[in-house]
Structure 1
Amino acid sequence: MTQDPARRDAPYRRGETALLLVDMQRIWVEPGLEHPYDERPYYYGRLRDTVIPNQRRLLAAARGAGADVLHTVIESLTSHGRDRSLDHKLSDMHVPKGAPEGRVIEALAPVEDEIVLPKTSSGVFNSTNIDYVLRNLGVRYLIIAGVVTDQCVDMAVRDAADRGYLVTLVDDACATYSEERHRAAVNAFGGYCWVSDTATVAARLDALAGEG
């Protein structure tokens, strides 16, 4: 039996590490599909200049290391959205099944055998079988990045930690609607994870690739 790691920033292990990208889909990332750029200049600017380039680096490193990659998208299981959570209904949040705006953005498009999990609530562990999938894959170390920091990313971090995963939050690969909200969120849920940055996490994944 493998001994449990003694700290949240324990080195990743080959065959036990996965990257989860949260809600990096067109409707939330491309200006004009939900909100125009002028309404959220900080958010869209951070996505363009920081988050998407950093996630591309993480994706390349994860793929190079043979780590599993999972993508979540908010997407109803039906065209009418009757299956959505009550919160999403009250929030008028509905991406119909198969809608083009619900796809992962082209810059981060999944490749063959990367798993895409449609969810109908903020928490991916609440409305998908991600826990079952991760355990079947043998994952213990879960690297999380995406949008938005203080909503769906927050829930993914906390819920994963509660289920026994060693979570890494990649700070500079996440965004919300202001720097103040981002910092407050990371400070609030940082106790559930190892908060790191793209360069450090990518270097660790690159080191795993060298073990293959």
Structure 2
Amino acid sequence: MATGAHLPQQTDPATTALLTVECQRGVVGPDSALPELAEAARRTGALGRVARLVAAAHDAGVQVLHAVAERRPDGRGASRNARLFSAAERLPVQQLAGTAAVRIAEPIPVCEDDLIVRRLHGLSPIAGTDVDPLLRNLGCRTLVIVGVSANVAIPNAVFDAVNLGYTAVVPADAIAGVPADYTAALVRHTLALVATVTTTDKLISRWTKPRRPGTTPG
């Protein structure tokens, strides 16, 4: 199993990007279409840790990308080849383009250098989106993946990243799914086989520059 033993080499800010997955108001916000998932993301602290990682990435110069799932009001181009898509169409909150539901959820900070990648179809934040060419143009070789859900989008992102030649890093305490114990099982029995599994604190420590002796925080 891959562990965080090689984090310093793998997570150099110059060649690393952080991808938040479906951390949007309509998914993990207070008016979520999936309240059980939103509650899990907040109760476990995963959403707060995503926010901490994004803030640390900003400070360290790590490129941040936000993967957002949305649909047009007329549904044109949306996938309909799985039960999940049919169920999503019946939810009281729709992830409609241009609405508050597809904005990045609080308390995650967003800065002008962040890239927001939107998709109208499929299950993966990477396959069929602009994520791969953007990462290659930026010179990124390592992708840190956080967000929701451990049930579908997170494993999709990890597998796609690995298949495309990236080193995938997963802070296990910054992802969430339902039921809560499923996330731990996914990490242990699946993601740890293909990704470097670490924690939020270890990754932030890697990205935090040590202060010179005699200096104080600004």
> TM-score scaled to structure 1, two decimals?
0.84
C-alpha distance in 1, partners of 2:147/2:110? 14
> Which position in structure 1 is the counterpart of 2:28?
29
Give the % identical residues. Answer: 29
Structure 2 counterparts to residues 1-212 of structure 1, below 5 A: 9=7, 10-36=9-35, 40=36, 44-48=39-43, 50-76=45-71, 78-86=72-80, 87=82, 89-93=85-89, 95-119=95-119, 120-186=121-187, 187-207=189-209
Give the 3 Å change call, closer, same or farther, for CA 207–109 of structure 1 in structure 2.
closer
Give the 3 Å change call, closer, same or farther, for CA 100–113 of structure 1 in structure 2.
same
C-alpha distance in 2, partners of 1:148/1:140? 23
C-alpha distance in 2, partners of 1:194/1:108? 23
C-alpha distance in 1, partners of 2:152/2:6? 22
Give the 3 Å change call, closer, same or farther, for CA 99–179 of structure 1 in structure 2.
same
Instruction: Tell me if structure 2 keeps the 8 A contact 1:43–1:177.
Output: no
Instruction: Tell me if structure 2 keeps the 8 A contact 1:79–1:97.
Output: yes
Offset, 1:65: 0.8
The amino acid that maps onto 1:72 is: A
Of the structure 1 ranges 127-136 and 199-208, higher mean CA displacement relative to structure 2 is found in: 199-208
Instruction: Tell me if structure 2 keeps the 8 A contact 1:70–1:116.
Output: yes
C-alpha distance in 1, partners of 2:85/2:211? 43
Instruction: Tell me if structure 2 keeps the 8 A contact 1:81–1:96.
Output: no
RMSD, aligned CA? 2.4
The amino acid that maps onto 1:66 is: G
Instruction: Tell me if structure 1 keeps the 8 A contact 2:70–2:118.
Output: yes
Instruction: Tell me if structure 1 keeps the 8 A contact 2:29–2:106.
Output: no
Q: Which runs of 5+ in 1 are unaligned?
A: 1-6
Offset, 1:45: 4.7
Of the structure 1 ranges 91-100 and 119-128, higher mean CA displacement relative to structure 2 is found in: 91-100
Instruction: Tell me if structure 1 keeps the 8 A contact 2:176–2:183.
Output: yes
Q: Which runs of 5+ in 2 are unaligned?
A: 213-218
Offset, 1:97: 1.4
Instruction: Tell me if structure 2 keeps the 8 A contact 1:11–1:204.
Output: no
Give the 3 Å change call, closer, same or farther, for CA 194–185 of structure 1 in structure 2.
same
